[in-house]
Amino acid sequence: MKRVSDRTWWGIALIGVGALLLLRNMMGGWFDREELLIGGLFAAAGVGFVVTYASNTKQRWWAIIPGCTLLGLGALLTMSSLSNRLTGLIGGPVFLLAIALSFLIVFLSEPTRWWAIIPAGATAAAGATALVEALRLPFEGGAVMMFGLAATFGLLALVETPQGRMRWPLIPAGVLAAVGLLILSQSLRLGGLIWPIALVLAGAVFVLRSLKDTPKE
């Protein structure tokens, strides 16, 4: 079976865009919503980039980034044309998570591109923060952001590279986790409990590492 070329897919996308514009000019009502039309245009362009990526994942890995981004933007605009309340609740998180997904795919398709974990984790953390604030949960979204970034660097420390696992990500991971813990304790007014527990755990880690490093007689 003959493989469909990228040019064919882009041609199909252009036909779809032209059809949307034609319907918009000929019909009223549903097609009068500019956000819905523009969202469809962005989504069509996103599909084109995704197909470009799928045609050669090794050399055209970059195409998945604008592909997912445009699809997320298309979804955001489509939601805004249908429900302002839904858009205000999950519109931002959906768009940010679409961007995060693109960088996650970049990493999963080629683990040597470990750098993609950082923008993937950062945008995912921003999306989670936006969702927490939209839901008005009883704790600060800033804590979610800090914990998300800490988890990102923690995951980075687990990645195998030709030189072995990287140790430097553990430093920003620890600092960000501490900042997140501080924000969380202030928002929940649990500073009197969290910090003593944190000190006990930190002391236990030092003791265990000391015992592990002590040479046997």
Q: What is the 3-state secondary structure (H, E, C) of 103-146?
A: HHHHHHHCCCCHHHHHHHHHHHHHHHHHHHHHHCCCCCHHHHHH
Average pLDDT, the chain: 81
- What single letter denotes the amino acid at residue 42? F
- One-letter amino acid identity for 169? P
142 pLDDT above the threshold of 80: yes
Q: Is the pTM of this model over 0.85?
A: no
Q: Where are the domains of the chain?
A: 1-112, 138-217
Tokens standing for residue 94: 């959906």
Q: Which residue has the higher pLDDT, 147 or 192?
A: 147
132-141 confidence digits (pLDDT tens): 888 887 777 8
HEC string of 56-83 equals CCCCCHHHHHHHHHHHHHHHHHHHHHHC
Whether 32 has a pLDDT exceeding 60, the answer reads: no
Q: Supply 182's token pair.
A: 């501080």
108-146 b/e (C-beta count within 10 Å ≥ 16 → b) = eeeeeebebbbbbbbbbbbbbbbbbeeeeeeebbbbbbb
Crossing angle of helices 170-188 and 191-213, rounded to 10°: 150
Specify the pLDDT at position 36.
75
With vertex at residue 15, the alpha carbon angle to CA 10 and CA 16, rounded to the nearest 5 degrees, is 95
First-residue to last-residue Cα distance in the chain: 70
